[in-house]
Amino acid sequence: MKRRAFFKAGLSLGAISLLEPLKGANLLSSSFEGVTSGPIVLSTWIHGLEANRAAWEVLSKGGKAIDAVENGVRITEADLANRSVGIGGRPDRDGHVTLDACIMDEKSRCGAVAFMEGIAHPISVARAVMETTQHVMLVGEGAEKFASENGFKKAKMPLPEVKKDWEKWKKENKDVFKKPIINHENHDTIGLIAMDANGDLSGACTTSGWAYKMHGRVGDSPIIGAGLFVDNEIGAATSTGIGEAIIRVAGSSMVVELMRHGYSPTDACKEVVNRIIKKHSDLTNLQCGFIAIDKKGNFGGYSVYAGFNYALKTSTEDKMVDAGFDRNW
């Protein structure tokens, strides 16, 4: 799985003069994990493999990135065995499975839903918000009302096995609110970004959020700029991990902004991870990971702790890649 290769990427002096160098940016020599020409799909964690394939069905027929990203993450949302995405997700402290999702296209149009219950495909509701309303985000009852008015069916949650786990958790955690260990064992948020044959970028992010969170809590995943950001001139980025830490540094938009200033996708993700590390004195279990693609087809990822990996799909690759990381657990 350790298939990372580091290359030296050089920018021409002409290109450099167009860029506003940031402190710490090494514009002449940056590391990246790979480059591809043609369509590419990148998504967080092992569940990304299947999602990428569904996205690829769209891209390989010349379809648009926005359709690919929605098609991709719907697979993860539909997987009832997935405990961190969709209606199979773990509930909050009070036993409610609340879902968050957002989507963004190549025209910087975006839509999001948060704190929404009982709808199997939050990503499609987010897309409907984007395409049929003047708004970007609907939450809670408003999002549920909008979903049912737009033909999305009610799903019953939590699943009996999820409820059983929650009851056990409640008994064992009377006073404490533990931080979850974010890793591929508890499968996480799916953030999926793609570039189509036209070179257009889009992204989607969907989750049931931090298991056993406070009722009403919303993390980074449905927040444009935190859990997902796309700028079709520059690139796309998405995140997973403790959403509070990602929101504090405007994570995904910062990754894209750093790419605008000459950072490779990997270096941009690393710089944002470094900011998270700097701003948190207690890093216990504070896992956060980012993945990114730039407009030229370079891609990469980085996380605070070891163990974060992402799925890559191109015309020649279909595999997991271990992201670089700052430290071991």
Residues annotated catalytic, as ranges:
189
Q: Quote the least distance from Cβ 84 to ligand ASP, whole Å.
A: 6
Q: Which is nearer to ligand ASP, 64 or 121 (CB)?
A: 121
Q: Looking at 144, 220, 231, 267, which residue binds ligand ASP (CB under 6 A)?
A: 220
Number of residues that bind ligand ASP (CB under 6 A): 14
Q: Take residue 273 and report the two structure tokens written for it.
A: 């991870």
- Using CB positions, name the residue nearest to ligand ASP: 243
**Which of 130, 85, 89, 86 is closest to 112 using CA atoms?**
130
**C-beta of residue 224 within 8 angstroms of C-beta of residue 247:** no
Q: Quote the least distance from Cβ 279 to ligand ASP, whole Å.
A: 16
Q: Which of residues 116-135 bind ligand ASP (CB under 6 A)?
A: none
Q: Quote the least distance from Cβ 299 to ligand ASP, whole Å.
A: 19
Q: Quote the least distance from Cβ 262 to ligand ASP, whole Å.
A: 28
Q: Which of these segments, 129-137, 240-248, 271-279, 315-323, binds ligand ASP (CB under 6 A)?
A: 240-248
Q: Which is nearer to ligand ASP, 83 or 127 (CB)?
A: 83
Q: How far apart are CA 236 and CA 104, in angstroms?
A: 9
Q: Which of these segments, 23-31, 138-146, 182-190, 298-306, binds ligand ASP (CB under 6 A)?
A: 182-190
Q: Take residue 51 and report the two structure tokens written for it.
A: 């999602």
Q: Take residue 275 and report the two structure tokens written for it.
A: 């900011």
Q: How far apart are CA 212 and CA 21, in angstroms?
A: 42
Q: Which of these segments, 52-60, 110-118, 241-249, 253-261, binds ligand ASP (CB under 6 A)?
A: 241-249
Q: Which is nearer to ligand ASP, 64 or 74 (CB)?
A: 74
Q: Which is nearer to ligand ASP, 54 or 182 (CB)?
A: 182
What are the CA-CA distances from residue 157 to residues 89, 118, 129, 161, 187 (Å)? 9, 6, 23, 10, 19
Give DSSP secondary structure letters for 38-73: S-EEEEESTTHHHHHHHHHHHHTTT--HHHHHHHHH
Q: How far apart are CA 161 and CA 141, in angstroms?
A: 25
Q: Which is nearer to ligand ASP, 52 or 82 (CB)?
A: 82
Q: 328: number of CA atoms within 13 Å, CB side?
A: 0
Residue 226 sits in the site that holds ligand ASP (CB under 6 A)? no
Q: Which of these segments, 148-156, 239-247, 257-265, 267-275, binds ligand ASP (CB under 6 A)?
A: 239-247
Q: Looking at 71, 98, 183, 207, which residue binds ligand ASP (CB under 6 A)?
A: 207
Q: How far apart are CA 163 and CA 152, in angstroms?
A: 24
Q: 237: number of CA atoms within 13 Å, CB side?
A: 36
18: CB partners within 8 A, 6+ apart: none
Letter for the amino acid at 288?
C
Residue 241 sits in the site that holds ligand ASP (CB under 6 A)? yes
Q: Looking at 182, 236, 259, 323, which residue binds ligand ASP (CB under 6 A)?
A: 182
Footprint on this chain of ligand ASP (rule: CB under 6 A): 84, 182, 188-189, 207, 209-210, 219-221, 240-243
